[in-house]
Every structure is written in structure tokens, then in C-alpha cells.
């Protein structure tokens, strides 16, 4: 789990720092989703399972929020994401 920032943000400046912050936020949210879904799978208690899956769903929204901000700041990321989407469509029919 991501408990310590693996990047020395103080060494980055301006937009580069902001983009890295957003990427780290996405990593943390994806890690949280994985954790909550694994915990939900492990429990036998349906109430706990429902709550964990609801929390995981909220984390997915957070990923979207970070991604939306990142795509505003990083045009190359936006373009490459679209290229990846198109390539996947072509390959998967």
C-alpha cells in the first residue's frame, strides 16, 4: 500500500509537480479500491461487504476526479489516452 510518497515533490516545480500530485492521488485511490474490494471478498458479513463495496465505488469516483484534472493539465496524456482507447476498440472489435 502507498503510505509514503515515492516522489520527492519538493524537487519538482509548477505544472510538473501538480501533474505528479494528481498521478499519486490516482495511485492511492486505485490502491484503496483494490484493498476495499479484497476485504469485501474476504468477509462473510453482508453488511460489511456492502459498506466496503460502496466505499470502493466512491474511490472510483475520486480516480475520475483526479483523471479529469490531470487531463486538463497534460495534453500529451489526454492524447495518448485517446489513442489507447481507439487501439483497444480496433483490437477488440
The structural domains of the chain, with segments of one domain joined by +, span 14-92
pLDDT, tens digit, 9 for 90 and up, residues 14-37: 899 999 999 999 999 999 999 999
> Cα(56)–Cα(79) distance, rounded to whole angstroms?
28
Nearest to 53 by CA among 76, 32, 71: 32
> Cα(12)–Cα(5) distance, rounded to whole angstroms?
13
What pLDDT does 2 receive?
54
Distances (CA, A) of 88 to 29, 47, 67, 78, 93: 24, 37, 19, 16, 8
> Cα(26)–Cα(65) distance, rounded to whole angstroms?
9
Q: Say what the pTM is.
A: 0.85
| Helix 14-42 and helix 46-73, axial crossing angle in degrees, nearest 10 | 160
Lookup result for grid cell 505544472: 15
Mean pLDDT of the chain: 93
What pLDDT does 10 receive?
79
What pLDDT does 1 receive?
53
Percentage of the chain with pLDDT > 70? 96
Confidence of residue 42 (pLDDT cuts 50, 70, 90): very high
Q: Tell me which of 5-19, 54-68, 77-91 is least confident.
A: 5-19
Amino acid at each position: 500500500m502507498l503510505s509514503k510518497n515515492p516522489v520527492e515533490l519538493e524537487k519538482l516545480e509548477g505544472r510538473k509537480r501538480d501533474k505528479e500530485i494528481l498521478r499519486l492521488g490516482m495511485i492511492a485511490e486505485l490502491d484503496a479500491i483494490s484493498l476495499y474490494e479484497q476485504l469485501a471478498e474476504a468477509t462473510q458479513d453482508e453488511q460489511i461487504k456492502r459498506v466496503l463495496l460502496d466505499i470502493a465505488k466512491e474511490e472510483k469516483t475520486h480516480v475520475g476526479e483526479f483523471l479529469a484534472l490531470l487531463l486538463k493539465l497534460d495534453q500529451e496524456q489526454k492524447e495518448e489516452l485517446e489513442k489507447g482507447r481507439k487501439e483497444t476498440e480496433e483490437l477488440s472489435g
